[in-house]
């Protein structure tokens, strides 16, 4: 469904406009840091932790997670490669030590199957989006996290990591590259930004 857009003009330069969807990103349900920790604690398998680490820790889109193959993860260099993101854009994502550990535990200790995909289903084949969402919902139920509704999606995890990276002081440019956005305006849409960051976006 097409999203109707409106424009924002900053006081510093009335000719500079940032476009963003009418539906504000804060309308999404996005886990806070402490809630993310509770989701991790609620996991019972290496696969569940790996899924959280891909979609929160690496900020992957659902389709990117589906397409991810074993060869796309370079543990030696601490990098995960998205070979074909949105608009066929490629990017390299640095992975933290915790994400690295979560993925290695799943791949080397629990994963069973001949498929080249990273995350496999119960019969050893590439896992698809609906299955990912079912696992996420199950983790939420087990976590008993208050104020987290059952309709939280994988995209909410992506939104959360973007917000948390900005809150930690990382630059808008870094978060743009991390998420695989083409334009800075897209990063502004999917992260909560304060007035200072919004001004920075408008003057770049």
Q: Assess whether 155 carries a catalytic annotation.
A: yes
DSSP 87: G
Residues present in the chain in total: 204
Check residue 130 and give left, alpha or beta (phi > 0: left; psi -120 to 50: alpha): alpha
Q: Assess whether 181 carries a catalytic annotation.
A: yes
Q: Assess whether 199 carries a catalytic annotation.
A: no
Q: Assess whether 158 carries a catalytic annotation.
A: yes
In sequence order, what are the beta bridge partners of 9? 17
Structure tokens at 104: 């290695």
- Give me the catalytic one of 28, 155, 192, 200: 155
Distance from the Cα of residue 34 to its chain's centroid: 17
Q: 8: buried, middle or exposed (CB in 10 Å: 19+, 13-18, 0-12)?
A: middle
- Give me the catalytic one of 28, 32, 61, 100: 61
Q: 187: buried, middle or exposed (CB in 10 Å: 19+, 13-18, 0-12)?
A: buried
> Measured at the alpha carbon of residue 31, what is the angle toward residues 25 and 35, in degrees to the nearest 5?
165
Q: Assess whether 159 carries a catalytic annotation.
A: no
Q: Assess whether 40 carries a catalytic annotation.
A: no
Structure tokens at 59: 């900020």
> Measured at the alpha carbon of residue 91, what is the angle toward residues 90 and 96, in degrees to the nearest 5?
150
- Give me the catalytic one of 111, 158, 159, 164: 158
- Give me the catalytic one of 67, 86, 128, 137: 86
Would you name the residues annotated as active-site residues? Answer: 61, 86, 155, 158, 181, 190
């Amino acid at each position: 469904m097409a999203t109707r857009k409106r424009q924002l003009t900053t006081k510093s330069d009335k000719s500079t406009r940032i476009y963003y969807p009418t539906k504000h990103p804060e309308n999404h349900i996005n886990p806070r840091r402490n809630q993310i920790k509770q989701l991790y604690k609620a996991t019972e398998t290496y696969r569940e932790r790996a899924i959280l680490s891909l979609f929160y820790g690496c900020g992957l889109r659902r389709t990117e997670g589906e397409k991810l193959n074993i060869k796309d993860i370079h543990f030696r260099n601490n990098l995960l490669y998205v070979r074909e993101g949105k608009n066929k854009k490629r990017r390299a994502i640095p992975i933290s030590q915790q994400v690295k550990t979560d993925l290695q535990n799943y791949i080397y200790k629990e994963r069973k199957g001949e498929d080249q995909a990273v995350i496999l289903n119960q019969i050893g084949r590439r896992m698809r989006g609906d299955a990912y969402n079912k696992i996420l919902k199950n983790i939420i139920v087990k976590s008993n996290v208050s104020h987290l509704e059952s309709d939280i999606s994988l995209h909410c995890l992506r939104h959360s990591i973007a917000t948390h990276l900005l809150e930690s002081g990382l630059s808008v440019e870094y978060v743009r590259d991390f998420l695989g956005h083409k334009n800075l305006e897209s990063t502004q849409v999917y992260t909560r930004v304060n007035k200072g960051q919004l001004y920075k976006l408008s003057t770049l």
